[in-house]
Each structure stands twice: as structure tokens, then as C-alpha cells.
């Protein structure tokens, strides 16, 4: 069809232009949809891939002694007034699982204090995301913030989460919980940051200024990171409220220690780690020249310095037991690594040097009373007993 001046009439031109524009818009939207359909490009997926190599599973083991009695012995004691057989002690291994994450290429890890509680008695094993397992040792911890600091015993560099750039923690932002949920490593849950400045009480200890999330926090997540979709730290998974104090079940109430508190605590823990490194060298030098406790009773000792007492959560005073020789008089008496000697005979002791002088005149076959145990810094927990040991 021929048009005047060679152009179609205006209405037809307008319809043609609109149709072309619509086609361009549809094509653009279609291309955009196809681009976003790739899961590998999702922000949450990228954030998890960024932090997961630094997240670790923490497995702790602690050897405890339990006194076991035959129920028939109680019967004889009640009705006949004597025991035919003495009670016996058995060793039991207690295990716990938790999470943590590396904050330094040297292998320093931050986690919850309750994950590595009584760390002086623990064997700590750390498994990284690539399946490698390392031994780790406890450095310091804080019951008030429920944070602890441990280190992998290895020299290779590790991937880590940078604490210099943390999340602004905005209400409603997407957050991701990463950790060892119910023993399954590399477990992910997703939600939003639903509140800040929350306070909760667990076992008579009040934790303040926590962040709240509806992302699922399960047993084993404790100590693992909570991140935003940029991979920045929001906080550390700490607790989940399953019931109100009145016993009413709840949903979507998980709590994390804020990243600001984590960053400040890590700076303090690193200073303690530096002091402990120097103290360990001094203790090793002193142990080579004074070893009456090890020679006579099978105990290796160390001064309970201010930094070490803070790290262990003990009250100041006494000498800490760092190792017990299997089958030694100390081992047979039930002495455990991590306990503190407060008194030898009737004399209070506060240093290895003082204790070694008291043992200097002890001969083989001599019985010595040691007052040992653990007195917590808050004095609310105190377990002390006097044990008689015969020098070998």
C-alpha cells in the first residue's frame, strides 16, 4: 500500500512505535529474569561462599571421674553397719559440639565460652570446612559476654572473617546463621534481624545488648557467625528461647552477641595471648630446675598468674596443675589437670617456687595433704577437697 509522501498515517506510525517499544521492554525484562535465575549469583549464596571457609566445627572432650557403688553395698551398710567393698571410681568421657570462626590467618578462633567451658580439662578438636581436623588450645574467655578465644595448633595460614568491617545491624536486614547445627557441619539458616539491645537471663547470668533474629538457631550453632548478605559479621549465635519464663512456647526468638562486642573482646583476648606466650616460656624454664612435685607425685605445675586466672575464670591464689602423669600418686588420688592447689599441709601456697620448697624435705613414702579444687572468680562456685598423697 502506498501512502502520501511515502509515510504511513500518524495513528498507524504511533501504534507501530508503541509495539516496538513494548517488544524492547519485554525482551529487556526477559533477559533480566534469565540473568537473575542463576542461583550462583544470589547475594546470600555469595555471602555464604565468602565466610564458610573460615567457619569451624568445635568438638570438645573432657575426662571426668565418677564414684560408683554397688546398690547391694548400700543394703549391707544400712542393715549390717559395714561395707564389704570400697566404692570405686570410673573415668567417663564427656563430649560437646559447637561452632566458631577464624578471625586471624594465624588460626585464632572466637566462639562461645559455654562451648569450651572448663577448657583446662578439655581436649579441643577443630574441623574446618575442607574436612581437616586440628588440635586447638584455650587462651581466654569471659563468662559475662559468653565469648572465648582458642587457637589452632598449626603454622599454616587460614581463611578468616575480617572484624574491621562489620554489619551496621539494621532492623529488617537479611541475616544468615552459619554453623554446626545438631552436629551437621556447614549448616545454613536464613531470616531477618528482628531486634537489637535485647537482654536475656540464662543460668542466673544476664546477657545484655544482644541482637535478635528469627533465623533458626539450633544446638551446635552456638559460637558460629551470623552474617549479612554482604558477608559482614552481625554477631555470634548464642542462645535460642524455646519457652518464655512462664513456660509458653515461642518461635523465631534467637539471640546473638553483637559484632561490636566480639571485636572489642578479641582485641582484649589477643593481648592476653601475647602475655601467655611469654609466660609459657618462663614457666618452661622454671620447671626444668624445680621438679619435686613431678618427681614425687607426678604433677606438673604453673603459677596462677593474674592473666591465667582471668582466662580460666578462677579466683586469684594457688598453683594450677598443668599435667598429671598416668598411674602417679596424683592420678591415683583423683587429681585432674586444670585444678588448683591452694594448700600443702597447713600452709597456703601461691607460687610454684613456694610449693617446691615445701616439698624439698619430703621423702619417698611420706604422706602429704594437698588442698585442691576450683574457686571461681565470682565465688559463687567453690569445689575444694583435701587429698592425701604418698610420695613415690
Q: Reply yes or no on whether the pLDDT at 249 is more than 50.
A: yes
The arithmetic mean of pLDDT across residues 235-256, rounded, is: 79
Q: Whole-prediction pTM value?
A: 0.58
Confidence label for 317 from pLDDT (cuts 50, 70 and 90): confident
Q: Reply yes or no on whether the pLDDT at 358 is more than 50.
A: yes
Confidence label for 286 from pLDDT (cuts 50, 70 and 90): very low
Strands 367-375 and 340-344: antiparallel
The rounded distance, in Å, linking the Cα atoms of 30 and 53 is: 35
The rounded distance, in Å, linking the Cα atoms of 335 and 324 is: 7
The rounded distance, in Å, linking the Cα atoms of 52 and 241 is: 26
135, 125 contact by CB (below 8 A): yes
**Domain 174-264, CATH number (from 3.40.640.10, 2.40.10.10, 3.20.20.140, 2.60.40.10):** 2.40.10.10
In CATH, what is the architecture of 290-390?
Roll (2.30)
Look at residue 382 in the predicted model and tell me its pLDDT: 76
The arithmetic mean of pLDDT across residues 269-285, rounded, is: 68
Q: Reply yes or no on whether the pLDDT at 7 is more than 90.
A: no
Q: Per mean pLDDT, which range of 9-18, 92-101, 141-150, 309-318 is the poorest?
A: 9-18
Q: Reply yes or no on whether the pLDDT at 211 is more than 90.
A: yes
The arithmetic mean of pLDDT across residues 201-227, rounded, is: 87
- The whole-chain average pLDDT of the chain stands at 80
Q: Reply yes or no on whether the pLDDT at 91 is more than 60.
A: no
Look at residue 38 in the predicted model and tell me its pLDDT: 83
Q: Per mean pLDDT, which range of 19-33, 39-53, 135-149 is the poorest?
A: 19-33
With 0-12 / 13-18 / 19 or more C-beta atoms within 10 angstroms meaning exposed / middle / buried, residue 260 is middle
Q: Reply yes or no on whether the pLDDT at 66 is more than 80.
A: no
More confident residue, 78 or 260: 260
Q: Reply yes or no on whether the pLDDT at 68 is more than 80.
A: no
DSSP state for residue 243 in the 8-state scheme: B
The rounded distance, in Å, linking the Cα atoms of 241 and 171 is: 19
Look at residue 189 in the predicted model and tell me its pLDDT: 94
Q: Reply yes or no on whether the pLDDT at 215 is more than 80.
A: yes
Q: Report the CATH number of the 50-152 domain.
A: 2.40.10.10
Q: Report CA-CA distances (Å) from 115 to 146, 147, 253, 311, 375.
A: 9, 9, 20, 15, 20
Q: Reply yes or no on whether the pLDDT at 136 is more than 70.
A: yes
Q: Reply yes or no on whether the pLDDT at 305 is more than 80.
A: no
Look at residue 48 in the predicted model and tell me its pLDDT: 94
Confidence label for 349 from pLDDT (cuts 50, 70 and 90): very high
Confidence label for 262 from pLDDT (cuts 50, 70 and 90): very high
Look at residue 16 in the predicted model and tell me its pLDDT: 56
Confidence label for 85 from pLDDT (cuts 50, 70 and 90): very low
Amino acid at each position: 500500500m502506498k501512502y502520501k509522501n511515502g509515510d504511513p498515517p500518524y495513528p498507524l506510525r504511533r501504534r507501530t512505535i508503541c509495539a516496538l517499544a513494548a517488544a524492547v521492554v519485554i525482551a529487556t525484562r526477559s533477559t533480566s529474569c534469565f540473568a537473575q535465575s542463576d542461583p550462583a549469583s544470589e547475594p546470600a549464596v555469595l555471602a555464604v561462599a565468602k565466610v564458610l571457609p573460615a567457619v569451624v566445627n568445635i568438638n570438645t572432650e573432657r575426662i571426668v571421674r565418677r564414684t560408683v557403688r554397688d546398690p547391694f553395698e548400700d543394703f549391707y551398710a544400712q542393715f549390717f553397719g559395714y561395707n564389704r567393698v570400697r566404692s570405686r571410681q570410673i573415668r567417663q568421657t564427656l563430649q560437646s559440639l559447637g561452632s566458631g570462626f577464624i578471625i586471624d590467618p594465624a588460626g585464632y578462633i572466637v566462639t562461645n565460652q559455654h562451648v569450651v567451658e572448663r577448657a583446662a580439662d578439655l581436649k579441643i578438636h577443630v574441623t574446618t570446612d575442607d574436612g581437616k581436623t586440628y588440635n586447638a588450645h584455650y587462651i581466654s574467655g569471659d563468662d559475662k559476654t559468653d565469648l572465648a578465644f582458642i587457637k589452632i595448633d598449626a603454622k599454616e595460614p587460614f581463611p578468616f572473617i575480617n572484624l574491621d568491617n562489620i554489619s551496621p545491624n539494621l532492623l529488617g536486614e537479611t541475616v544468615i546463621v552459619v554453623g554446626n547445627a545438631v552436629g551437621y557441619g556447614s549448616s545454613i539458616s536464613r531470616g531477618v534481624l528482628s531486634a537489637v539491645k535485647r537482654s536475656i537471663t540464662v543460668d542466673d547470668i544476664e546477657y545484655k545488648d544482644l541482637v535478635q533474629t528469627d533465623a533458626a538457631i539450633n544446638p551446635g550453632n552456638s559460637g558460629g557467625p551470623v552474617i549479612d548478605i554482604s558477608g559482614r559479621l552481625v554477631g555470634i549465635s548464642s542462645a535460642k528461647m524455646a519457652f518464655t519464663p512462664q513456660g509458653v512456647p515461642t518461635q523465631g526468638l534467637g539471640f546473638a552477641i553483637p559484632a561490636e562486642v566480639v571485636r572489642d573482646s578479641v582485641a582484649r583476648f589477643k593481648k592476653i595471648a601475647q602475655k601467655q606466650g611469654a609466660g609459657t616460656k618462663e614457666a618452661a624454664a622454671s620447671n626444668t630446675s624445680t621438679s619435686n612435685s613431678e618427681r614425687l607425685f607426678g604433677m606438673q605445675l604453673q603459677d596462677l598468674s593474674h592473666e591465667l586466672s582471668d582466662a580460666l575464670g578462677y579466683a586469684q591464689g594457688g598453683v594450677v596443675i598443668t599435667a598429671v602423669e598416668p598411674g602417679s600418686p596424683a592420678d591415683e588420688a583423683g587429681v585432674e589437670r586444670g585444678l588448683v592447689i591452694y594448700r600443702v599441709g597447713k600452709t597456703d601456697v601461691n607460687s610454684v617456687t613456694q610449693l617446691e620448697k615445701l616439698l624439698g624435705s619430703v621423702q619417698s613414702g611420706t604422706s602429704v595433704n594437698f588442698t585442691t579444687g576450683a574457686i571461681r572468680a565470682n565465688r559463687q562456685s567453690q569445689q575444694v577437697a583435701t587429698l592425701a598423697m604418698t610420695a613415690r
